[in-house]
Amino acid sequence: MPKTSTKQEKPENEQNTTLVGWVRQSRAGGALKISVHSEAISNCHTYTTVDGTSYIPLVISMSALRRVIGGEQSVTTVSQFREN
């Protein structure tokens, strides 16, 4: 009898990330609403471009965002990859 194994994978947006907010579709459906927790965002790491502008790099799973847009789920996460 062949061995079968189940692979325990974390969803892409949960691997080594910090939750900072949520994305959902507007009630009218014409926009995405992004809610960011102010304390969480203030704790995120930043990077600075050559011109001196600072940015906070955030990620949203494309597959989860497609499900929100398609109406299959109501919300998905906005996260930042943790620096180790």
Residues 6+ apart with CB under 8 A from 60: 13, 23, 76, 77, 78, 79
Q: What is the total count of domains within the chain?
A: 1
**Predicted TM-score of the model (pTM):** 0.74
Report yes or no on 1 lying in a domain: no
The answer to the question of residue 60 being in a domain is yes
Q: Which domain does 47 fall in, by range? A: 12-81
pLDDT tens digit string along 17-75? 999 999 999 998 899 999 999 999 999 999 999 999 999 999 999 999 999 999 999 99
Q: Is residue 56 one of the residues assigned to a domain?
A: yes
3-class state of residue 41 by DSSP: helix
